A and B are shown apart, each in its own frame.
Chain A
Amino acid sequence: MKNYAIRMLRSGAAALAIAAFAGGAAPVQAQDAGSVKLGLVTFLSGPAAGPFGVPGRNGAEILIEALNAGKVPAPYNTVGLGGLKIETKIIDESGSAANVVSEYRNLVQRDQVDAIVGYVSSGNCLAVTPVAEELKALTVLFDCGTPRIFEEKPRKYVFRVTPHATQDNVAAARYVLAKKKNVTLYSGINQNYAWGQDSWRDFVGAMSVLAPKAKVDKELFPKLFAGEYGAEISTLLTSKSQVLHTSFYDGDLESFIYQQAARGLGKRMTILATTAESSMKRLGNKIPDGSIIGARGSNGPLARDTELNKWFVKVYTDRYGTAPTYPSYHMAQSIIGLKAAWEKAAKAKNDAKPTIDEVVAAFENLQFEAFGSTIKLAIGHGHQGIAEIAYGTYKFNKQKNEGEIVDVVRFPAECANPPADVNAEDWIKGGMKGAKCD
């Protein structure tokens, strides 16, 4: 009994000492009037680090460096955010929802960041959103795709300039039907988790509105990160589908493309890959010619050829030796959107540092020029961005030994996104009314 008590007391004391140490190691920093502190959260470990986390972080790194030096082309050639230099704190997005929420609180309350840009996983975006509202912390979600964030409840402090995933699949259906008018049978292979299920549901929904006669053949949902698709490829080889829809990305997409290349699936049906742009360079001639390629917006090779885009591709390629992929664009446009909102708020105050609420007010319904296209925060009560989206057809150029995207079609933002007051799913089910495609 006595031992137990003393043990308990001692361990309690030890724990408190450690707690004090952890608190002391990351002291609450005095607010520096001359800078803005930005928390960046993205995957630095695990399977999502290579395709999304690191390209996202790289995009943030070069952009923030250039912003602090005032070297970004007009209209973003002012230093930092409204003249204040940007300091960053980078955190890994890995771990359970509990970890992610804890680290979010740490960023806001311990490290006292002014704003947070981050989150690749839709689950993490959904988990931090209510916390952001509770803590009144300005948060720009950069890469997650689920439309649920702003459809479940109106939000005040959370923004997402990157369009949600519905437009990827609606535009994909429009592109397929524009290029292959006689599709009668199509299949899908998508990862068995929220992203894959949502992508397939939106695609099938859009197809049944646009081409009611086309029928779904095989619906395959292999496990996330399965890596081995032999049985799935056999199933597809024995089907008569003309088009195969997939929202696979990076590792799984590359494994699937290698394995189907060895068995000639691409000769039997057209592969439509909504995110293939980020893997295009590595896959080279393994992607069958004629495959339909998306970039989750008009990003990368599908971006508009503006001064801003040329600059971004150049500085990124100079630093990292490879062109930026769509996650880099998503990160960069999120930061640039924050800058646009910040400076709009500062301007109204004669260039004084705006409060977070003022930035939030300026951010709502904002329209700004991003790297690949123009972004309008038109839906989700002015918190969710919509933008033009492009799809194209893959062609491997043997002379240059690299892939190209030809036959690019650009769909206006209002063509692939629901109107302001309609949920994405209801909009598709209701026949995509109000879409403006001209």
Chain B
Amino acid sequence: MLSRANLIGAVLFLAAGIIGFFLPPWLVSLLTIAFANALVVLGLIILWRAGLVPFGQALYYCSGAYTVALLARWAGVSDAFVLLIAGGLVAGIVAFLTGFLLARYREIFFAMLSLAMSMILYGVLVKTETLGSTDGFGVDPPHFLGYAPHGDALGFALYWFVLVVCAISALVIGVYFKSVAGALAVPIRDNEIRVEFLGISVTRLIHMKLVIAGTLAGVGGALAAMTIGHVDPNMSYWTTSGGFVFVTILAGAGSVAAAFVGSLVFEIVRSFAFAVLPGFWQMTLGIVLLLTILFLPEGLGSLATRFRRRKPDTKPVATS
């Protein structure tokens, strides 16, 4: 699979890694969180291609984050690789179980049911006083196969760790998009009955997509927990899910890369609004979202396509 796309992806990934050494630590930390969240968005893109938008993806994000935090606190596990796999696995299992129910739903009903499920987890966590209720609790800095960095070195280690996870996920999901199961997303969105007439179980396909998206969200949550060093039940609140959907719309479902670009742009706009307009950051975000939907219906990912198309458009086109 040494295609040009993967080659360029690899170059970009290396470039992002090297640039990290020249960026101030606060920007590295911002990029780390943006890329961790991008994994959740990548999962949402998978679902959105099939016409599904969950308002409860925070359920899996929070499951992944709490798995990491609980393993670190109660089992003393501190290795980032073990924590990451555990976070993804638990979220994947949760997604598999909830999937039996959710895979039967579409449109707004799907959105509402997933929202209800994430709010039930929120309620349970708020009730659990041993886990600090809404205050949450801290996650100690992870180790990397015995390497235990501190301070700025920890920031870079996490940044690289997140980049590697992102690169692998991007590669795998890129392959998935081109597989039959991935490519069937758009037909399902357009008319799933026709897909069923082909002899394919739409419910099972969607169930699989839910598990993939849930696992990605769990991995994102696990990385976020390690990066932030703190987990709390708000990670499961519906506004967190809303934030991820926001980034998905901003990014557009065009490609794998869109998730990363969208998440990065969102994090920068948010931070910028906080610094410049501290009292009016919600309005800034709202306006950005509105303008994106009105003028960039396919998301930021479509900008590149537009630039490319503009050139041939300048010549008179005879055929339509």
> What is the interface of chain A, defined by CB distance below 8 A to chain B?
1-12, 14-16, 18-19, 22-23, 25-26, 28, 44-45, 90-92, 94-99, 101-103, 105-106, 108-110, 122-123, 126-127, 129-131, 134-135, 146, 148, 152, 192-195, 197, 201, 224
Known A4-B5, A91-B278; contact A127-B264, beta-carbon cutoff 8 A: no
Which chain B residues lie closer than 8 Å to A6 at the CB level? 304, 308
Stretch touching chain A among B98-106, B127-135, B191-199, B312-320: B127-135
Which chain A residues lie closer than 8 Å to B272 at the CB level? 22, 25
Which chain B residues lie closer than 8 Å to A102 at the CB level? 26, 29-30, 33, 267, 271
Q: Is the CB of B257 within 8 A of A12?
A: yes
Known A91-B274, A192-B127; contact A123-B264, beta-carbon cutoff 8 A: no
Closest to A126 in B: B135
Q: Is the CB of A194 within 8 A of B138?
A: no
- The smallest C-beta distance from B24 to any residue of chain A, in angstroms, reads 6
Contact of B136 (CB < 8 Å), options: A8, A97, A135: A97
> What is the interface of chain B, defined by CB distance below 8 A to chain A?
3-5, 7-9, 12, 15, 19, 24-27, 29-31, 33, 37, 126-127, 129, 132-138, 150-151, 154, 224, 227-232, 234-235, 240, 243, 254-255, 257-258, 260-261, 264-265, 267-268, 270-272, 274-276, 278-279, 281-282, 300-301, 303-305, 307-308
Q: Is the CB of A134 within 8 A of B151?
A: yes
Which chain A residues lie closer than 8 Å to B255 at the CB level? 4, 7-8
Known A1-B4, A97-B232; contact A130-B278, beta-carbon cutoff 8 A: no
**In the complex the two chains form, what is the Cα distance from A201 to B243 in whole Å?**
34
Closest to B151 in A: A134
9 pairs of A and B residues whose beta carbons are closest in the complex: A109-B26, A127-B230, A7-B304, A193-B134, A10-B304, A194-B133, A8-B257, A194-B135, A11-B261
Which chain B residues lie closer than 8 Å to A23 at the CB level? 24, 27
**In the complex the two chains form, what is the Cα distance from A92 to B134 in whole Å?**
19
- The smallest C-beta distance from B146 to any residue of chain A, in angstroms, reads 20
Q: Is the CB of A193 within 8 A of B126?
A: yes
Q: Is the CB of B126 within 8 A of A7?
A: no
Q: Is the CB of A194 within 8 A of B132?
A: yes
Closest to A136 in B: B151
Where chain B touches its partner, the secondary structure class is helix
Known A8-B12, A97-B230, A110-B26; contact A197-B279, beta-carbon cutoff 8 A: no
Greatest chain B CB density within 10 A among A5, A7, A97 is at: A7
**In the complex the two chains form, what is the Cα distance from A152 to B26 in whole Å?**
26
- The smallest C-beta distance from B153 to any residue of chain A, in angstroms, reads 11
Known A5-B4, A8-B9, A152-B138; contact A15-B265, beta-carbon cutoff 8 A: yes
Closest to A11 in B: B261
Q: Is the CB of B235 within 8 A of A96?
A: yes
Q: Is the CB of A127 within 8 A of B279?
A: no
Which chain B residues lie closer than 8 Å to A90 at the CB level? 278
Q: Is the CB of B133 within 8 A of A130?
A: no
Contacts A23-B24, A126-B138, A130-B230 supplied; 15 other A-B pairs, CB < 8 Å = A1-B5, A8-B12, A11-B303, A14-B261, A26-B275, A45-B279, A96-B235, A97-B234, A101-B228, A105-B30, A106-B30, A106-B271, A123-B230, A192-B126, A197-B133
Q: Is the CB of A8 within 8 A of B278?
A: no
